[in-house]
Amino acid sequence: MQSRAHIAVFVVYSLAFFGIALPYPVVTPMFLNGDISSGFSPEVALGIVMAVYPLGLFFGGGTLGSLSDQYGRRPVLIGSLILTTLGILWSAYAIWTLDFPQLVLSRLITGFFEANGSIARAMLIDMEKGEATASSFALLSVGAYGGYLLGPVLGGYLAQFGNVVPFLAAGFFGFTALSLAFFWLPETNAKVVAGGKQAKRLSIYAMLKSHVMFRQLLLAHFLLTVGINTFYQFYPMFLVKRWAANPAEIALTNMFFTAAMIAFALFGVPRLEFLPLGRKLMVAGAIFSVLLLSLLLAPTNAIGIVVSIFIGFAVSVMNASSPAFLSRETKNTLEQGAVMGALTSSFCLSQVFISLVGSRVAVGGIELTFLLGSLAALLGVVQVQRVRGQSRTAAL
């Protein structure tokens, strides 16, 4: 039963990131080539569409995570998967009719319910009795990286049959994840199993207001993920503007980057388990900041792919260490469903921020957007060091 539960959690987590990644090679050329009319400049319209999905995730992460603490992981997860699949199919309809407002609204609502990745992470903590390590989250992250790999590959190559087709494929995967969750996933929230519905949990706002360490950790995570999402969101635009890349070429570049993340999550992160979580975050964040800027010096797409592979190594360490670090520092004081929901919300808020601000900055040059992301990651490294210092002081 537990192995089936792990597989189902893995697939659900992968689906959440599949939904984020799938539009990249489809939507970017669609707007930059003027295939859909919006009333905005192509860059701004693209920024809006990229921003509303993580905006939905931002609100959904904290809400769904807290509801899973109160009512149980399984029912909240299954309900969110049903609505996620319907939202994806709505996006397909909006693209088919070239309806920009419907596309924006459908991506917003889909994002809200696809924030169920926070429930998946909370389930992992439940199944491992609250002692999840960076290696555990690295393995779970393989599901996310698989979504980033499969989504753009399908999006890029199925787009030749029409921009609607990749979204129909995403709907099929949504139904598959729903089936696995329904038949394989048990309830993992021990408090709910033992005593039914629990008392209402603290909201993210209340946790931020009352827990200084939680607030500091979430700020560090936000800054680091602003840097990460600069690469995720704007590397396709960089490829189109600098080398006039088509959807298939964008998908190919993403495949190398994602394969590097998967390989390092499986084989590299476990070998770094001896290093303190905070130190791993700092080193990986600093390396990422430098590599993001070095992309601007790449003379060819082939060199850019090599740099992106090394970026994948750094990102895999950050994605594995961040939730483990946050869980370790809060497991005795806060409910983990709400904590993992806050982590999802932080990640998504950083996507919203860099999508809106980065798209505006990109009008003056994509180089400025990459500079902004690199600076944010560097500030995140500084904040991690501050958190480490506070944690050591509190332990004395």
The 10s digit of each residue's pLDDT in 64-117 is: 888 888 888 899 999 999 998 899 899 999 988 988 999 999 999 998 998 887
CA dist 325 → 57, 64, 133, 156 (Å): 22, 21, 8, 35
Predicted pLDDT of residue 129? 67
Question: Is the dihedral angle over the CA atoms 320, 107, 55, 111 positive or is it negative?
Answer: negative
Residue linked to tokens 């991690």: 384
Predicted pLDDT of residue 32? 76
pLDDT beyond 80 at 307 = yes
Domain ranges in the chain?
A: 2-395
What average pLDDT is seen over the chain?
83
d(CA 298, CA 296): 6
Predicted pLDDT of residue 292? 94
- Non-local (6+) Cβ contacts of 351 within 8 A are 50, 51, 53, 54, 57, 225, 229, 232, 233
Q: Is 176 exposed, middle or buried (0-12, 13-18, 19+ CB in 10 A)?
A: middle
- Spacing of C-alpha 194 from chain mean position: 32
pLDDT band at residue 395 under the 50/70/90 scheme: low
- Spacing of C-alpha 140 from chain mean position: 12
- Pick the residue with more confidence: 92 or 36? 92
Predicted pLDDT of residue 75? 92
Predicted pLDDT of residue 105? 95
Q: Which of 263, 268, 257 is nearest to 312 (CA)?
A: 257
- Pick the residue with more confidence: 352 or 242? 242
d(CA 135, CA 116): 21
d(CA 82, CA 2): 23
Predicted pLDDT of residue 125? 78
> What is the rounded average pLDDT of the residues 330-355?
81
Asked if 308 and 295 touch (Cβ cutoff 8 Å), the reply is yes
pLDDT beyond 90 at 134 = no
Asked if 312 and 257 touch (Cβ cutoff 8 Å), the reply is yes
Predicted pLDDT of residue 240? 86
Predicted pLDDT of residue 202? 62
- Pick the residue with more confidence: 43 or 391? 43
Q: Between 165-184 and 134-158, two packed helices, what is the crossing angle to 10 degrees?
A: 150
Q: 3-state class of 325 per DSSP?
A: helix
> What is the rounded average pLDDT of the residues 19-33?
73
Predicted pLDDT of residue 1? 46
pLDDT beyond 80 at 288 = yes
The 10s digit of each residue's pLDDT in 157-214 is: 888 888 888 888 888 888 888 888 888 888 887 777 776 555 556 666 677 777 888 8
Q: How many CB atoms lie within 10 A of CB 325?
A: 24
CA dist 8 → 129, 164, 219, 281, 391 (Å): 18, 27, 31, 28, 35
> What is the rounded average pLDDT of the residues 252-275?
85
Residue linked to tokens 């959807």: 247
d(CA 189, CA 126): 6
pLDDT beyond 70 at 132 = no
Q: How many CB atoms lie within 10 A of CB 43?
A: 19
Predicted pLDDT of residue 42? 80
Predicted pLDDT of residue 179? 86
Q: Which of 223, 226, 207 is nearest to 215 (CA)?
A: 207
The 10s digit of each residue's pLDDT in 357-374 is: 998 898 888 899 999 999
pLDDT beyond 90 at 228 = yes
- Going by the DSSP 8-state scheme, the letter that residue 159 receives in this structure is G
CATH fold of 2-395 reads Growth Hormone; Chain: A; (1.20.1250)
Predicted pLDDT of residue 294? 93
d(CA 298, CA 364): 19
Predicted pLDDT of residue 24? 67
d(CA 175, CA 179): 6
